[in-house]
Structure 1
Amino acid sequence: MTTATRIDWTREHCRLLRAIRDEFARTRPFEGKTIGTGIHIEAKTVALLTTLRAGGAQVVATGNLNSTQPAAVGALWAEGVTVIGEPTKDQDEHREYQRQVLAARPDLILDNGGDLFAQYLDDPYPGLLGGTEETTSGRMRLAPLRDRLNLPVLVINDSPIKQFAENERAVGQSTLESFLRMTNRATTGERVTVFGYGACGRGVADNFRGAHAKVTVVEADPVTRLRAHLDGFETPSRDKAIAGANLIITVTGARDVLTAADLPLLRDGVILANAGHFPFEIEAAGLLEAAGAVQEYEDDLATLELADGRRIHLLARGHMFNLAGPRALGNSIESMDLGFALQTRCLAAVATGRVDAASCVVPVPADIDAAVANAYLDDRY
């Protein structure tokens, strides 16, 4: 009897990508083209990138900060995907790996956070057809650059499927699951403050409430804050929400949501965790510098000991803790299968000229949303 891997398990349960891979092996929409990507490299990504390979693409990939999984890298190399760089937490190394992806002059870019498209504009080359952007953070970054890009760029995160299936459902589930796996701490009766009430924040708040935590929401936008209130969450002032929390989770996409300036507000024993894409929502460097001593644990846990005796616990050094670290598995297979099906269909639309520069930093076309939704449901009933 042979032992299969988690990557094998993941591929088996990516039903949509399996079907698309078979289709692309026949239709070859990416024949003769190179796709460059800087996306989290983990088991689900293997299913995505090898589907693009089946469609005829040469794929040149690098990972994101602190989320590259060596087993996934090995699986990609074995199927002809070029993977640039090692797992890293260093921003400069990360940028250099991205520069090397762009040095391959890809015809299509599959971006995650807007990094590759932004670097492309610094040193543009002929022949780029366009591509996709995975995240809201990336869309916010690229939207002001539409006139300079002047290429079709389809934003996966603006698909309603991505919003409710992955952001609201799966991010909340994986955040709760990762907290339990990393800390082995209870949620019942704990006071949890969630920063941000977009789709991801709603999912996090709902999942922790479902796990019997007392959840408070901090949201800068007054209308969205009202929504959180009407959804049954406490929405006090920022300072009150920080001071009352046993666990604080940031999921905003903004910079410096929690900084060393907030240390006087934090209660002894509070746990700080970031579930947002970029590792700058929690100013980890400033918090670590302000600590009198730091106790490091395995599994990317750290305890900051302050001069007054308080202890502050930090998960994954402020990186996205539901995907970073040795115990993180990321979002559910089904949710990523849906999102990555959108990715493959959108990249094929760009590659074959079905969309043009008028579709620059815009949501997934409605017909692609409908096709992916039908494909998922047709196999269920």
Structure 2
Amino acid sequence: MKNEILLVMPVPFQIVGGRLGFDDQTCAGLVRWAENFERVIMACPLIPEHIAANSETSITWQAIADLPCADRLELVPLPYTYKGPDFIKAYRATSKLLNVKIQECQYLCFALSGVIGDWGAIACLEALKLKRPYTVWIDRVEYEVIGRTLFTKESLEKISLKHLLKNILITYPLLKPYQRYLIRHSQLGLFQGQDCYSAYSPFCKNSYCVYDIHTQKSDQIDSSSLNLKVKSILQGEPLQICYVGRAAQMKGPFDWLRVIHRLCEAGVNLKATWVGDGPLLSEMKALADELGITEHIHLSGFVGDRSQILETMRKHHIFLFCHKTPESPRCLVESLVSGCPIIGYNSPYSEGLVYQFSGGAFVPINHWQNLADLIIELNSDREKLSKLVSQSALSGQEFDEQSVFQKRSNLIKENLI
């Protein structure tokens, strides 16, 4: 075995112009993996064409063969099996394939995401059979995500009975003990953000809090732009509020609108922008109209130009977020890199991002009224807000893609020997 790593991840392949492709951020990550290993074998589910044709359009797909490291990559498409019968049918052949690939590689890193269709978990089981040490990678506390989103009124009104029963009878009760078993037997645990680290590290003998980000050092806000932003705040210009992410239940879009409404009622002169599409975007527009705040907000929909997204954050005074689940969203990191303080619902993840240098302020989850009051206070105390802006830029300097991938790769090499 050479200096090769096998990655089994839930991020899907898609056919792009007759070739295997990934979303642009995963492609960027592949380039970074290839900087740290002689060869990278990537095993992921392949989205069937009929599903891909009906999938969301807010993803920028890229052919993997066009990457500069393509000659050092091996792509292993796996079955897309998130239905029980499909998973059972594909299990034997896929587990054998993973077994073979495990034997070919010196280093192993498997992402855990669920129960049915989670080939990363199956790769862990195959590694255990072969008595091979492996790394587990987790980027959100999935059982908490299910618990907080599945049993809400909005979700129960839309979800099919079949899907509801699957989650209640299989996924939800099995996921926690299943993941804990695989984590306990791992050699190394890489948990993205403090939420994941707090939830999973007690079950891993060797665990680290890491981050999965795709910003470069060149993306960090320059001193001139930072000074202009601070100046605009201190001169009393209208408060600029933004968010970047999907209009989905776990992102709290309706709480976000209610905060804006309360600010408008309090007489705050503001302009708020939500960048991103999603299943609830039309409902957001309807609620904004109902609340009478359409003149104060801009729901831009999908923006594919990443530089434009970062520029939006650089120009805004506050990044307002209402995340309702324990995940590790990259948008908070990108906001800090852009010198835009993160103001929203508290969590170990968000607090951990600004632990050293500050640059954020938080209230308990679901307390959108308190969140609005916090922003009203910051709008009145522009000195305090400008200080948060400077602190956020300082916190953002801790995060760049090359450094975090190098750190993660070094941990794998040091612990899987």
> Under TM normalisation by the shorter chain, which class is it?
0.3 to 0.5
Query: Over alpha carbons, which structure has the higher Rg?
Result: 2
Q: TM-score, normalised by structure 1?
A: 0.33
**Structure with the higher fraction of residues in helix conformation:** 2
User: When the two structures are superposed, what TM-score results if normalisation uses the length of structure 2?
Assistant: 0.31
